[in-house]
Structure 1
Amino acid sequence: MEISGSGLGFRRGMENDLTTIVESNVNFVEVAPENWMRLGGKFQHTLAEVSRKIPLTTHGLSLSIGSPDPLDIEFVREVKTFMSKFNVRHYTEHLSYCSANGHMYDLMPIPFTEEAVRYVAERIRLVQDVLEQQIAIENVSYYLKTGQELSESEFLNAVLAEADCKLLFDVNNVYVNSINHKYNAKSFIDKVPSERILYGHIAGHYDEAVDLKVDTHGDDVKPDVWALLEYAYAKHGVFPTLLERDFNIPPMSELLVEVDMITAIQNKFKRTL
């Protein structure tokens, strides 16, 4: 099923909230396949029930598309089986890496170089060949600059074009990076190719300092990020947008307030576009 409107990241532990989610403004949900596909019993039953009631998409955590390690093709085949079993339309991943002679529990930045563009794009194309469909890659938050021959937007756009893939457009990551690396967030949004956007993410972050923001997914969405989402809709049109929350998860009623905010902003721009 195609996705549209506003979405919510579905986490283990939300099983008892499924009826509430289905009856709310949530139009689709997203899961990390690694957190579900090797589990059996009640978890498979839960996911089957979710997929029957609401469109489901995936957001991978461990493909490690920019890693120097060989691509894990067996993992990609597992993802393909998972997607088929639960009627998942889309697979997305981070434009980063999390392994190099072993797994790292963080998303590491890929150098913004022409060589890295070619390397990453080739690996994305290989994943797309195995899955037999386009994937979407997410612009990520990063805290260390490594080998920046290109700007962040130049690197992102070059990968999208070279790999012929879609974009999972994380608006909070644009905001976080713009503060941490001192660039204009709206100018970055202006440079994103509208036709590549599959859907978007929005999330909360931690204010470590005035000039340092940490992408935690552990807090409410900040007002400046809501404003940036409005700007993105004004520039690119309304695209499906999903709320992520991974830590300090509040009751579902509170999460749905933020989902309703996404819906309200989308409706505002649908009326004016």
Structure 2
Amino acid sequence: MGVAVLTMGNRPVELRALLDSVAKQQEAATRVVVVGNGAPLPELPEGVIGVELPENLGVSGGRNVAMERLRESGDVDVLVDLDDDGLLIEADVITRIADLYEADPRLGIVSFRIADETGLTQRRHVPRLRVGDPMQGSEVTTFLGGGHALSMRMLEGTGGWPDAFFFTHEETDLAWRALDADWRILYTPELVLQHPRTSPARHAEYYRMTARNRVWLARRHLPAPLVPAYLGTWILLTLARTRSVSGLKAWFGGFFEGVRTPCGPRRPMRWRTVWRMTRLGRPPVI
């Protein structure tokens, strides 16, 4: 078991608390890597590997650096990514994850439950279209970036994070590749990452990146007939949900950027993957 944490260097107290919670696990992680994403690292606990990047590579790029560092060690089977302001409140998280992967050789991704200090899980932190009970686990089609586990064997076959995405929708890109390679994604609410409640407020760069990366997702992974259906659905949803004129302007700017710019290799998923996702409750048109 390997643990990877990205930090911008602006949460040294929270980062230390997270690393202390990892150290207190009943079953110790084999490796712990902290990547300073374009920022110097604070003093780290003994045994924690620190990597300082000269520039911010985004969530995708930073996680790829951590993944490669763990892969180089040759003794990590499962990678656990954790937000630097999160906290493991139970001491058996690593043990539970290990048990899940030992029991299912086709388990690719495990998604944690994100909860605030009061135990509340926000609707957007449940990786299902129909949220239902946040305490109910299920097989899903995507996962949460703040706390999750990834099979290194899966990553060998599917590839890592999409570097060019920088941030937003990188989890969906990886999830779709995993599903198309017949790996399972499991939402497991018993695995909790405590995380401060965040505001849903958005900024222009978020709108732009969200739209651009959504177009890239469709161009990279969807069968041709589903591309206009998927993008048309999200145009309508964005128009219905967004109250900010500047936000809409940034979103459509990002949308057309996604149409114009290279998105990486196109490998459309199989139709049986589309059907599998539909049966799991989230067809890839929304």
Same fold (TM over 0.5): no
> What is the TM-score of this pair, normalised by structure 2?
0.25
TM-score (norm 1): 0.26
